[in-house]
């Protein structure tokens, strides 16, 4: 069984500063994918970034980067230059690699509030 743990229930960050959101995972599958989603107050889930277990380099997407440490089973999200619009819930998720019908297991989420 796969498990995702997000230990930070909530965080404050100053506008324009960077913030790191923690995510640890547990799986016995050799091939897996890690995802981060943003959920604003509207409720919709927005895909941010993906990291495959065999990817050699850490994933980056604009202001989002993923600090992937396979041996420690962690996949922390780094948001650089925080903006007020980054205030939202953030969820880490994992699935069993690139396959159709990829079921995702979600963590409990971290609420981020960006202060002006």
Partner 1 sequence: DGGITQSPKYLFRKEGQNVTLSCEQNLNHDAMYWYRQDPGQGLRLIYYSQIVNDFQKGDIAEGYSVSREKKESFPLTVTSAQKNPTAFYLCASSGGLRNEQFFGPGTRLTVL
Query: Which residue is associated with the tokens 């922390």?
Result: 76
Instruction: Give whole-number Cα distances, 18 to 10, 11, 33, 55, 105, in Å.
Output: 15, 12, 24, 24, 26
Q: Alpha-carbon distance 6 to 56, whole Å? A: 24
List binders of partner 1 among 10-69 (CB under 8 A): 33, 35, 37, 42-47, 50, 52
For partner 1, the binding residue among 72, 85, 100, 116 (CB under 8 A) is: 100
For residues 70 to 99, the per-residue mask of contacts with partner 1, x marking binding by CB under 8 A and - elsewhere, is ---------------------x-x-x--xx
Minimum distance from residue 81 beta carbon to partner 1 (Å): 24
Q: Up-side HSE of residue 95: CA atoms within 13 Å toward CB? A: 12
- What does the binding site for partner 1 look like in residue numbers (CB under 8 A)? 4, 33, 35, 37, 42-47, 50, 52, 91, 93, 95, 98-109
């Amino acid at each position: 069984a796969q498990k995702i743990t997000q230990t930070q229930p909530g965080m404050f960050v100053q506008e324009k500063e960077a913030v790191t959101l923690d995510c640890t995972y547990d799986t016995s599958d050799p091939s897996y994918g890690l995802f981060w989603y943003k959920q604003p107050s509207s409720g919709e889930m927005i895909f941010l970034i993906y990291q495959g277990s065999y990817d050699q380099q850490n994933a980056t997407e604009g202001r989002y980067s993923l600090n992937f440490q396979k041996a420690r089973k962690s996949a922390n999200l780094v948001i650089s230059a925080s903006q007020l619009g980054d205030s939202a819930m953030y969820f880490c998720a994992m699935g069993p690699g690139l396959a159709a019908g990829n079921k995702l297991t979600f963590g409990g989420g971290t609420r981020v509030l960006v202060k002006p």
